[in-house]
Amino acid sequence: MVDVAEANQDEAADATAEATDAVGVTVTVRYWAGSRRAAGCAEELLTASTAGQLRRMLAGRDSLSAVMRVASLLIDGIAAADDTVLPADATVDVLPPFAGG
């Protein structure tokens, strides 16, 4: 049986994502480690609606295409899937894989 409240939440999230897709929001993108070298800057302001749209936008840059295939995106410190809607004024960190020890 479908939970009506859950279904309504899903519909509201879909509507928010659709509205955001049409407009997009401005976010601060911060680059770390190899992504910083590839981007040529520490941070920049960009406009996108979802983490996936931002990933595709960055991957379209020759210097970042290889990095973006393997990078993780954090939105305000939380790992984000490509379908995550970007909140206005969020900070998105681009983290390439790295080894520690």
Read off the DSSP letter of residue 70: H
State residue 57's pLDDT score: 97
Model confidence over 59-88: pLDDT tens digits? 999 999 999 999 999 999 999 999 999 999
Q: Which CATH code is given to the segment(s) 4-95?
A: 3.10.20.30
State residue 23's pLDDT score: 74
Model confidence over 6-40: pLDDT tens digits? 555 556 555 555 544 557 999 999 999 999 999 99
Q: Are strands 72-75 and 25-31 parallel, antiparallel or unpaired?
A: unpaired
Please, are residues 26 and 45 in contact by the beta-carbon 8 Å criterion? yes
